[in-house]
Amino acid sequence: MTALAQTFRQVVPPQWPRGPALRMVGGGTLWGLMLSGGLLALSYQSCNAFCLGDALVTTALSVAAGIVTVGPVTTLGAKD
């Protein structure tokens, strides 16, 4: 048991890259997903229907807009 515990103790968890590009894509993607969720909720409320094509297009455009516009803003205030 002790030898097994010693081998697990030496295992290092994986380190995620923390560069500004990853932060930009991640922040823009999260913002885009939240925006598309809100827009799809408004669409469902007004039409009482859910269209898969509309959901895919809205999500893709929202994520792309988030990466292009909001993503760089998230990296401006970050201090490494």
Note whether residue 22 is domain-resident: no
* Domains held by the chain: number: 1
11 pLDDT tier (thresholds 50, 70, 90): low
| Residue 70: inside a domain | yes
Is residue 72 a part of any domain in this protein?
Answer: yes
| pLDDT tens profile 56-67 | 999 999 999 999
59 in any annotated domain: yes
- Position 71 confidence tier, pLDDT thresholds 50, 70, 90: confident
Reduced to 3 states, what is the DSSP secondary structure of residue 28?
Answer: helix
The residue range of the domain holding 66 is 52-80
Average pLDDT over the chain, rounded to whole? 83
- Residues of the chain with pLDDT > 70: what percent? 78
pTM value surpassing 0.75: no
